[in-house]
Amino acid sequence: MKHLTGGWIEALEAVLAFLLLMGSIVLLWRDNLLLFAVVLVEALVVLALWHEKHDVAFFVVVAGLGTLAEVVFVNFGVWHYANPTVLGIPLWFPLSFGTAALVGARLVHSLTRSWPKSSCS
């Protein structure tokens, strides 16, 4: 039961981290430097919580690939940001994308850890 509880606590932490990230962006998107600082702190907290080698690599790869894709999409006119900073995207985007990806990955990990083992695996 302790393992089950630990998984649900980690899932709750991940959901709260995502809600904090989302709320920060919604409230602060007009001030890119302030939002960058807030998202940087959030990213550092998330990486302090989940900092195994694959977590850090996942964060960096997804932040990098997501940012590259976003720059391409914006520059081809697929969509645009209301308050861009560099190359058509906000300064805080890479950190927020990496943070959201890591939070999502940890949420999936914690939820699936709590699922009963299937006899079909």
- The per-residue pLDDT for range 66-105, each reduced to its tens digit, is 999 999 999 999 999 999 999 999 999 999 999 999 999 9
C-alpha to C-alpha distances, 117 to 91, 113, 120, nearest whole angstrom: 43, 9, 9
- Whether 52 shows a pLDDT value over 70: the answer reads yes
Would you state the pLDDT for residue 70? 98
Q: What is the pLDDT of residue 5?
A: 64
The SS3 call for residue 86 is strand
Nearest residue to 28 (alpha-carbon basis) of 56, 52, 20: 20
pTM of the model: 0.86
pLDDT value at position 1?
Answer: 39
Spatial distance between the Cα atoms of 74 and 50, rounded to a whole number of angstroms? 31
Q: Is the pLDDT of residue 2 over 50?
A: no
